[in-house]
């Protein structure tokens, strides 16, 4: 299989076939992000022959597994959904040809990738199997989106996700706890809940900001342009987000960036999640949480 650099996937794509169709990110400008810094280029599309070779290899391996077959493919790279619709449809055809058991195709997507597609194209992509996108929305706080160079604002998230809703393409969000900066965590969470409450994400996955020296954000901190939230403020921020969410959605903080892993279905598990967060806020010290963050060598 062709895999280039570190391969990132959401925790819930653990059983999916990971197919490399792109490597890196077309945007590559978010100040906090170091995810694809190990690549010698910002973004690359895989050669068509590499994709087909990998699918052939997978089909062969599945025969050896005798009956165990992939039901879902996850296209790797930060935003394969940026590819032209024709290219994405070609990839879907190849997947169907070699892995007929595969019903759906997911990938990471940027809000701006959806903007590039017409409503008709989104419907076609849904019919071809594209469903379950993971969007690194990060926050509904425009000041933070602007400062971090995300390349879109809260209103763009709402507009584009409503188009996905209309096309029947389900999506999950990644939320970045800490993105609003010191003193603004709970405000950022309120703005994010307000945004999410207008949409239909299947899951909101919270990751906690961990700042590495090779990020632009680290330089901003050195220059005195931005201050990091304390670890306890980050947990208060998560608590506010959970508290203010009014839609039925799975809330999960499962990645390595979270010192404590929590997951539950809202609204049913709201009190349980809030109680777990209160226990952390009142029972764990800033020093302990900071120690975890400082020793997190890799996300
Ligand atoms: S956070 Fe996502 S969109 Fe931003 S640079 Fe990193 S991979 Fe690209």
Q: What is the mean pLDDT of residues 205-225?
A: 97
CA–centroid distance, residue 35 to ligand 1 (Å): 7
Q: What is the mean pLDDT of residues 236-254?
A: 98
- Nearest CA to 10 out of 194, 255, 265, 287 is that of 255
CA–centroid distance, residue 217 to ligand 1 (Å): 13
CA–centroid distance, residue 105 to ligand 1 (Å): 21
Task: Give CA 177 to chain center in angstroms.
Answer: 13
> Domain total for the chain?
2
Q: Are residues 169 and 126 in the same domain?
A: no
pTM of the model: 0.95
Q: Are residues 106 and 195 in the same domain?
A: no
Q: Tell me: pLDDT of 68 over 80.
A: no
User: Atom 2 of ligand 1 has which residue's CA nearest to it?
Assistant: 78
First and final C-alpha spacing in the chain: 23
Would you say residue 127 lies in a domain? yes
- Alpha-helix residue ranges (DSSP H) falling in 82-118: 85-98, 111-115
Which residues form ligand 1's pocket by a CB distance below 6 Å? 25, 27-30, 33, 35-36, 78, 110, 136
Mean residue pLDDT of the chain comes to: 96
Q: Are residues 122 and 168 in the same domain?
A: no
* Residue range(s) defining the domain that contains residue 228: 160-299
Q: Are residues 122 and 179 in the same domain?
A: no
Would you say residue 269 lies in a domain? yes
In this prediction, residue 298 carries a pLDDT of 77
% of the chain at pLDDT higher than 70: 100
Would you say residue 169 lies in a domain? yes
Q: What is the mean pLDDT of residues 255-280?
A: 97
- Nearest CA to 33 out of 22, 25, 43, 21 is that of 25
In this prediction, residue 162 carries a pLDDT of 98
In this prediction, residue 5 carries a pLDDT of 93
Instruction: Name the β-bridge partners of 22.
Output: 45
105: helix, strand or coil: strand
Measured from the Cα of 25, ligand 1's closest atom is 8
Q: Tell me: pLDDT of 67 over 70.
A: no
In this prediction, residue 63 carries a pLDDT of 78
In this prediction, residue 297 carries a pLDDT of 81
Alpha carbons within 13 A on the beta-carbon side of 176: 25
In this prediction, residue 64 carries a pLDDT of 77
pLDDT tens column, 163-196: 999 999 999 999 999 999 999 999 999 999 999 9
Instruction: Give the confidence band of 31 by pLDDT, cuts at 50, 70, 90.
Output: very high
Would you say residue 146 lies in a domain? no
% of the chain at pLDDT higher than 90: 96
**Domain-terminating residue out of 91, 110, 131:** 131
Q: Are residues 22 and 82 in the same domain?
A: yes
């Amino acid at each position: 299989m062709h895999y280039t650099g570190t391969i990132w996937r959401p925790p819930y794509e653990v059983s999916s076939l990971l197919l490399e169709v792109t490597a890196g990110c077309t945007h590559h400008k978010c100040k906090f992000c170091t995810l694809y810094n190990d690549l010698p280029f910002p973004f690359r599309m895989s050669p068509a022959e590499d994709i087909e070779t990998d699918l052939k290899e997978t089909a062969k391996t599945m025969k050896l597994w005798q009956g165990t077959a992939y039901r879902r493919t996850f296209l790797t790279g930060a935003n394969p959904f940026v590819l032209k619709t024709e290219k994405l449809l070609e990839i879907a055809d190849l997947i169907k040809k070699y892995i007929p058991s595969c019903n759906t195709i997911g990938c990471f997507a940027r809000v701006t990738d959806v903007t590039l597609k017409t409503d008709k194209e989104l419907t076609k992509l849904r019919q071809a199997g594209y469903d379950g996108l993971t969007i690194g929305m990060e926050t509904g706080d425009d000041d933070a989106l602007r400062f971090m160079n995300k390349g879109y604002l809260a209103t763009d998230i709402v507009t584009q996700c409503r188009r996905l809703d209309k096309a029947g393409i389900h999506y999950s969000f990644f939320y970045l706890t800490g993105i609003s900066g010191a003193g603004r965590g709970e405000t950022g969470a309120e703005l994010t809940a307000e945004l999410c409450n207008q949409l239909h994400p299947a899951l909101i996955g919270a990751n906690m900001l961990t700042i590495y020296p090779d990020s632009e954000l680290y330089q901003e901190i050195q220059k005195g342009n931005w201050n990091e939230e304390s670890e306890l403020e980050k947990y208060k921020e998560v608590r506010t987000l959970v508290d203010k969410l009014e839609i039925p959605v799975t809330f999960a903080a499962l990645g390595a960036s979270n010192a404590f892993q929590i997951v539950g279905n809202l609204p049913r598990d709201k009190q349980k999640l809030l109680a777990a967060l209160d226990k952390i806020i009142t029972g764990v010290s800033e020093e302990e949480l900071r120690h975890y963050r400082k020793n997190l060598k890799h996300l």
